[in-house]
């Protein structure tokens, strides 16, 4: 496998751009090929089988384009399909993302942790196993927030409509002393400021993007696949809805 081939990065839409910017920050000399499946977003309300099919198709597309590794920059697709992908593509690094519950509970000892993600991520076996490992250390609350995905897909990362939605879904937690919020969907880091404001009190935010970028680097290194170039790499953005590429580009520059 060619060490100077691009790293493929995939999400249901624009969310994975929040992971892509961490990847570029940590590996500026790598080439990246991003594919957002905005034509089929959101993935959260779909069936597991449907997300598996879409994820396998996206992976095939990136690997056909010559990618040397695959980053599933989508918690939902990871929860539904990471095992299938690893079985099918056992010769290359396949990295997924999951809600950063571990650092919230173990490293920082927050007694009340709110996990915001898609319906599918929160209902899949993978997340249930994660919760079981930590629930004796903290009270963990699960909050599906599909409205954030819709908002980001439309390019709205702020504003009164988004804030009204956030206040509405956060209302049941007003009396809970939450000190940590886990962003378990890659669309959510774009609205981090609005979430912080709408919580109404200071919270620590946990985003799985930086950890996923570190893990990708480790996996490439272990497979001897880190680029040997020393000049800035190329980032190519693609989308199943070609007119959506302009928004991905804007989000990458935020």
Is 74 a known active-site residue?
Answer: yes
Q: Quick check: 21 binds ligand DGL (CB under 6 A)?
A: no
Site string for ligand DGL, 87-126 (x = CB under 6 A): -------------------------------x--x-----
Task: Give the separation between CA 35 and CA 5, rounded to whole angstroms.
Answer: 16
What is the strand order of the sheet 69-72 is part of?
94-95, 69-72, 7-11, 32-36, 235-239
- Angle at 21 (CA atoms; ends 19, 27), nearest 5 degrees: 100
The minimum distance between CB 231 and ligand DGL, in angstroms, equals: 31
Match 């994975």 to its residue by tokens: 16
The structure tokens 């879409």 sit at 54
- Comparing CA positions, the residue from 59, 13, 62 lying closest to residue 39 is 13
Nearer to ligand DGL, 12 or 248 (CB): 12
Instruction: Closer to ligand DGL by CB, 15 or 93: give it.
Output: 15
Number of amino acids touching ligand DGL (CB under 6 A):
17
Q: Which of 38, 55, 151, 186 binds ligand DGL (CB under 6 A)?
A: 186
Residue 126 vs residues 78, 83, 230: alpha-carbon distances, Å: 9, 10, 38
Q: Any catalytic annotation for residue 185? A: yes
Positions 34 through 63 that interact with ligand DGL (CB under 6 A): 41-44
Q: Determine the 3-state secondary structure of 207 from DSSP.
A: strand
Stretch that binds ligand DGL, among 10-18, 124-132, 169-177, 215-223 (CB under 6 A): 10-18
Which residues participate in catalysis according to the annotation? 74, 185
Which residues are at the interface with ligand DGL (CB under 6 A)? 11-13, 15, 41-44, 74-76, 118, 121, 149, 185-187
């Amino acid at each position: 496998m060619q060490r100077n081939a691009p790293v493929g990065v995939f999400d249901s839409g624009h969310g994975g751009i929040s992971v892509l910017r961490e990847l570029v920050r940590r590996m500026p000399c790598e080439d990246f090929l991003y594919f957002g499946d905005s034509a089929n977003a959101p993935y959260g309300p779909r069936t597991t089988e449907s997300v598996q099919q879409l994820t396998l198709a996206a992976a095939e597309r990136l690997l056909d384009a010559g990618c040397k590794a695959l980053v599933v920059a989508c918690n939902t697709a990871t929860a539904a399909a990471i095992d299938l992908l690893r079985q099918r593509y056992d010769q290359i690094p396949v990295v997924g993302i999951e809600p950063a519950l571990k650092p919230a509970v173990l490293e920082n000892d927050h007694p009340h942790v709110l996990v915001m993600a898609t319906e599918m991520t929160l209902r899949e076996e993978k997340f249930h196993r994660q919760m079981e490992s930590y629930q004796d250390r903290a009270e963990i609350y699960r909050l599906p927030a599909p409205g954030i995905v819709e908002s980001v897909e439309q390019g709205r990362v702020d504003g009164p409509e988004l804030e009204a939605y956030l206040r509405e879904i956060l209302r049941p937690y007003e009396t809970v002393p939450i000190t940590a919020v886990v962003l378990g969907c890659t669309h959510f880091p774009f609205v981090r400021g609005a979430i912080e404001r709408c919580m109404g009190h200071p919270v620590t935010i946990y985003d799985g993007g930086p950890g996923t970028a570190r893990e990708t680097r480790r996996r490439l290194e272990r497979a001897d696949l880190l680029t040997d170039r020393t000049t800035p790499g190329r980032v190519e953005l693609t989308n199943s809805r070609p007119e959506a590429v302009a928004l991905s580009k804007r989000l990458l520059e935020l």
